[in-house]
Structure 1
């Protein structure tokens, strides 16, 4: 299964709806397919200038490293030299903060969501809500 434009737009809409329900700061949300190609993106009014770039770095990082960015951030604490090297190797296109979440279907990664604008915890919870609302399970099996 591939990630459709309709599903990606549903993820973006539901992510932003969750953010408004939480009174989150203005967010940027991006949905990438498994090859890291952008499918859908939105930046709320008032989101700061770099939010799109950070959201994309979260989604790309999750795809490139094969795990949600919360997991990557935890791993980076235990091996900072390696993860600094990864950041350099990918031209800084990775972010070690929650809010980059893989999208799976039947255990296979079909894309990722990146959210930036509030705390990492809030960004991640909004991404989870968007993924669930689009009909995907938050599968953690690999």
Structure 2
């Protein structure tokens, strides 16, 4: 199974935080998980609240569990709220149905893991994740 290395995970986190700083966002927390949902790395900016690590993980793990971004899971929650609510209890790592969790793939579309970002608006969280993925020469799945 292909997966992100610790070096790649740390680079993704650094690029995500750099983007958040450039946009003057609220303090964010960034996690990177392998394809099985296991955390590779996590960092919280100074001032980020303590629950943020679990929220970021829920975004990343949810994306991996369903094979779509956490934004898409949020859209699914509007149409099928009971279905999405039931997933949280079933999924290891939980599921947070809000933008900011993005699957990371290589150029051939192989899933390498996922990144989860939380701390500002969900749109800004996702924008930082997408910018980091691109800056690292990877693709959003």
Q: Does the pair score TM above 0.5?
A: yes
Q: Comparing 68-77 with 89-98, which one deviates more in the overlay? A: 89-98
For structure 1, list consecutive stretches of 5 or more residues without a partner in the other structure. none
State how far apart, in whole Å, the 2-side matches of 1:104 and 1:80 are.
28
Aligned residues, how many? Answer: 139
- The answer to whether structure 1 residue 121 and structure 2 residue 134 are counterparts is no
Secondary structure at the counterpart of residue 84 of structure 1: helix
In structure 1, how many angstroms separate the alpha carbons of the residues matched to 2:3 and 2:84? Answer: 30
More deviation, 79-88/6-15: 79-88
Checking the alignment, whether the CA contact within 8 Å between 1:10 and 1:133 is kept in structure 2 is: no
Runs (4+) of structure 1 exceeding 2 A deviation are 88-92
CA RMSD of aligned residues (A): 1.3
TM-score when scaled to structure 2?
0.94
1:50 alignment counterpart: 51
Task: Rate the CA distance shift 1:91–1:37 in 2: closer, same or farther, 3 A.
Answer: closer
Instruction: Indicate conservation of the 8 Å contact 2:35/2:113, yes or no.
Output: yes
Q: Measure, in 2, the Cα distance between the counterparts of 1:108 and 1:92.
A: 22
